[in-house]
Amino acid sequence: MNIPSEHVDFDNTVVRSETDEAIQVELDDGRTFWIPKSLIHDDSESYELGTDGTLIVPEWLASVKGML
């Protein structure tokens, strides 16, 4: 997996809910966040309901949402 430096990855992420535009993910520490599907990196394992694993998003998004 080649993650660009301006992205961050979160391991053990579970998708809890989904809309047409976003997914709600639960991080391994139990916190949940809504992430726009358009901002999820193509190499993410968590991208729709029923998937879990690594979530890769832009660092700026993770910072704004308080994920870091």
Measured in whole angstroms, the distance separating CA 53 from the mean position of its chain's CA atoms is 9
Tell me the pTM: 0.91
Cα–Cα distance measured from residue 40 to residue 31, given in angstroms and rounded to the nearest whole number: 18
Using 50, 70 and 90 to split pLDDT, how confident is the model at 4?
Answer: low
Using 50, 70 and 90 to split pLDDT, how confident is the model at 5?
Answer: confident
Predicted pLDDT of residue 2:
62
Three-state SS at 30: coil
pLDDT digits (tens, 9 = 90+) for 8-65: 999 999 999 999 999 999 999 999 999 999 999 999 999 999 999 999 999 999 999 9
